[in-house]
Structure 1
Amino acid sequence: MRNAMDIGGGIVVTTDNSGGIGMKPDDIVTAPDRVTAYFATRVALLEQWTAGAIPSSILVHNFSGPDSWEPYVKGVEDVFLEADYEAPSISGSTESNMHLLQSALAVTIIGKRITEETTDELHWYIYGKPLVGHEVLENRIQIASLHLIKQAMDKGLIQRIWPVGSGGIQSEYRELTGEPDCLIQADVDIYKSAGPATSVLIGVNANRVEEAQNHFGGELHKIIVM
């Protein structure tokens, strides 16, 4: 189930954090707080979908100061606006006693599992380009669209998803398949970090491949196992 935790009763918890990214002078990457929260929430939501769950509540852990709370919440809401469904309740806490030199944030989503992992044999594709750091802000059109992913899930065009993180596509595919020595090829960089899940692995049934390719506008990249 990757980085999701099943705490029983079908309740799934996912989380993502961000440090040194924001508007403080000592931040390593300069980005609006709203954008920072968007990408942290994006990862946590994709992990929910990977586990077959839908979000029911969200916790925002804000270590950047009181002024960051509202833009962080707006960034969380932006993710659900893009995915085209209503954001669940948002709560959390702000560190207001200590002034940190760098921005820090964590977003935790609590959800309910609604689907089980399919046993069908799937064709795996890469959707979205691996990006990291400033590339994420400069090339947002190349990032896997949550809206298109959610639409494809609702239509049954894709049966499983697997977000790509800092380990890169090759590493994530090995974890997905449980085959630590497998080698793959694709027409994107399979070793580069995908930062905040700018790339997603998508599992498609053989009889829906053409539909999926049309849905994503030809932006699916076939994974070839060597």
Structure 2
Amino acid sequence: MGDSPQMYGRVKTCRDVLIYRLGERMLVVGCDSSGGVGPKPLDMVNVSGYVVGRYVARVALMEVASTGAKPICLVNTSCVEPKPLGEEILRGVRDEVEEAGLGPIIFTGSSEKNFQVQQTATGVVVIGVAEEGQLRIGVSQSGDVIMALGRPYVGEEVVAHESEVADVQDLRMLLEDDSIHEVIPVGSRGIAHEATTIAQDSHLTLKLQSTPNVDLNKSAGPSTVLLASAQTSAIKRLRKKLRKPISIVGHLN
């Protein structure tokens, strides 16, 4: 007999990831791109290729890992020359993966070998796998508080305020905490948008704080903020445990 049609196909989510059912396993695909940031003459924000690689990899890794999936493959597509900038970006990508501590990941990628470019552009795709029961999507609960870890920064602000920026180590700590139900990275669409995503996936109603101590609509650039749905009773303990700023942004009902 053939496989049931329900064993294969796309899984609906409001998140910025593609989830595809493969029998009893889930394939999770996340990506990020960066343009105009780097050491090239026409770049809008001047940073090293290494920094570009770190952040573009971080975003895609957090998008996939936050779902509960294990990243297994990373694709780096750099629209710059292989040497020196392409290698510098890839070094940043590899260091971010190693520091993330998410286990062995295989790499592939490509760079521009035909033309000289005057502006930095690169992208990363991360592919992960998970058993169906391991997915951390749509599992928030009524009564949960939505907290933001980190601050929303974009462009040169990111480097200037690096100590307040969420990273993969923060994500791992959140996912390993029993009081945390769901985690989602925040990017260019802001905290309010991603808080709504958490609520929609769990079929709950979101009530945002009327006077939050963080901008709910500002771009968080390369995922400088992580949102988490958590038990209200755990917030005091989490403030002591986590080393980044925490803001309460809303509640779920």
TM-score using structure 2 length = 0.81
**Structure 1 residues 218 and 23: alpha-carbon distance in aligned structure 2, compared to 1, 3 A threshold:** closer
Letter in 1 for 2:165: I
1:204 maps onto 2:230 in alignment: yes
3-state SS, counterpart of residue 190 of structure 1 = coil
1:181 Cα deviation after fit = 9.0
Q: How far 1:165 moved relative to its partner?
A: 1.3
Q: 1:21 to 1:51 in 2, by over 3 A?
A: same
Is residue 165–residue 193 contact of structure 1 (8 Å, CA) maintained in 2?
A: yes
Partner of 2:183: 161
Contact 1:77 1:87 in 2 (8 A): no
Partners in 2 of 1:102 and 1:39 — Cα distance? 17
The more displaced of 204-213 and 41-50 is: 204-213
Match 1:148 to one of 154, 170, 173: 170
CA RMSD, Structure 1 to Structure 2 (Å)? 2.3
- Map 1:35-74 to 2 at 5 A: 35-67=51-83, 68-74=85-91
Tell whether the 8 Å contact from 1:55 to 1:112 is kept in structure 2 after alignment.
Answer: yes
Deviation at 1:93, TM superposition (A): 0.9
Which residue identity does 1:4 align to in structure 2? Answer: V
Q: Which runs of 5+ in 2 are unaligned?
A: 1-12
How big is each residue's C-alpha offset from its partner over 1:107-128, in whole Å with a ceiling of 9 and x where there is no partner? Answer: 0001002412325333210100
Moved more, 25-34 or 156-165: 156-165
User: Which deviates the most, 16-25 or 48-57?
Assistant: 48-57
181-190 vs 136-145, greater mean Cα deviation: 181-190
Q: Percent identity, aligned pairs only?
A: 27
Partner of 1:125: 147
Q: In the superposition, relative to structure 1, how do residues 181 and 56 fare at CA in structure 2: closer, same or farther (>3 Å)?
A: closer
> Which runs of 5 or more residues in structure 1 are unaligned?
none
Task: From the superposition, tell whether residues 87 and 132 of structure 1 become closer, same or farther in structure 2 (CA, over 3 Å).
Answer: farther
Which of 150, 170, 186 is equivalent to 2:192? 170
Shift of 1:175: 2.9
How many correspondences in the alignment?
A: 226
Task: Give the secondary-structure state (helix, strand or coil) at the position aligned to 2:172.
Answer: helix
Preserved contact between residue 45 and residue 109 of structure 1 (Cα < 8 Å): yes
The alpha-carbon deviation at position 225 of structure 1 amounts to 5.2
Q: Give the TM-score normalised by structure 1.
A: 0.90
Deviations 1:146-170 (A, max 9, x none): 2132123224342211111112112
